[in-house]
Amino acid sequence: MKCDVLTLFPDIFTAYLNESIIKRARAKNLLDVKLYNIRDFSSDPHRTVDDYPFGGGAGMVLKPEPIFRAMDLLNEDGMQRKVILLTPQGRPFNQASAEDYSKEKKRFVFICGRYEGIDERVKTLVDEEVSIGDYVLTGGELAALVIIDAVTRLIPGVLGDERSIEDESFSWGLLDYPHYTRPREFRGLSVPHVLLSGNHKEIEYWRRKQALKKTVKVRPDIIKKMELTELDKKILSEIDAYDEDA
Ligand code: 6GU
């Protein structure tokens, strides 16, 4: 994934982009992020980026000029770009969006809104408005990082163990099953026997059951939308909390 980020707070990104899997993806050139401070594209001596809203009301609005000037600079290289505006008014981002983005050939631009809003005319530059959930953040920076993270881990070669993604698609849509490592017994809490059995068929069955159980309990909406296999239906019939008619 290659992207340009327009933000008033580039420092928010640097710590996260310089750790762990994301750092390694950048080192391998599988992820390229260039940060641009919108304030650097202000044209007045006070480096103003916001102004009062026409029509009155509380809060400030991001001015259009600095963002247009930043986009003019990006466009000088003639590359095709997909421009995403991060806003709580956007289309909800999900795992399917992450998969689409991970296959995108174009360079991305993430425009991070701040303050109470952004001048509506900026949207003439934008291909998609995207939100990461039904709550309000103080700015789009965390949303851009969430998207970059979710997309990067889907790019082939980023995760050390390619099975991590395979395992996920086996249970795609379900919440994950419980994981255990050594010691077998810890403060009176023991690892479920089946995981020590070496019986891979039984382990697979147990994990699927645990994933279904967890999902029924905390995300019944996911179960309702899923295509269940005959095995899933059998497992679910063994789970008390599940009501087929709900
Ligand atoms: Cl993309 N931006 C802001 N400010 N808040 C959000 C969001 C984005 N997605 C959810 N909440």
Q: Which atom of ligand 1 lies nearest, measured to the CA of 144?
A: 1
101-118 pLDDT, tens digit per residue, is: 999 999 999 999 986 899
Residues 118 and 177 in one domain: no
Going by C-alpha positions, the residue among 149, 126, 112, 120 that lies closest to residue 15 is 149
Residues 32 and 118 in one domain: yes
| pLDDT score for 211 | 96
pLDDT at 167 over 70: no
* Residue 158 falls inside a structural domain: no
Residues 33 and 106 in one domain: yes
CATH assignment of the domain containing 113? 3.40.1280.10
Q: Which atom of ligand 1 lies nearest, measured to the CA of 134?
A: 10
pTM of the model: 0.95
Residue 209 near residue 242, CB atoms below 8 Å: no
Residue 7 near residue 34, CB atoms below 8 Å: no
Name the residue at shortest CA distance from atom 5 of ligand 1: 137
CATH assignment of the domain containing 199? 1.10.1270.20
Rounded-to-integer distance, Cα 61 and Cα 39, Å: 14
What share of the chain has pLDDT > 90, as a percent? 89
- What's the rounded mean pLDDT across residues 193-206? 98
- What's the rounded mean pLDDT across residues 212-228? 95
Beta bridge partners of 36: 6
| pLDDT score for 146 | 98
What rounded mean pLDDT belongs to the chain?
94
In short, whether 134's Cβ falls inside 6 Å of ligand 1 is no
| Cα 202 to middle of ligand 1, angstroms | 42
Residues with Cβ within 8 Å of 28's Cβ and at least 6 positions away in sequence, in order, are 157, 158
Residues 68 and 116 in one domain: yes
Residues with Cβ within 8 Å of 237's Cβ and at least 6 positions away in sequence, in order, are 244
Residue 224 near residue 218, CB atoms below 8 Å: no
| pLDDT score for 171 | 60
- The phi-psi region of residue 91 (left if phi > 0; otherwise alpha if psi is between -120 and 50; otherwise beta) is beta
In short, whether 139's Cβ falls inside 6 Å of ligand 1 is yes
Name the residue at shortest CA distance from atom 3 of ligand 1: 137
In short, whether 140's Cβ falls inside 6 Å of ligand 1 is yes
| pLDDT score for 163 | 66
Which domain does 69 fall in, by range? 2-152
- What's the rounded mean pLDDT across residues 77-102? 98
Phi, then psi, of 123 in degrees rounded to 5: -65, -15
pLDDT at 246 over 70: no
- What's the rounded mean pLDDT across residues 188-198? 98
Residues 37 and 128 in one domain: yes
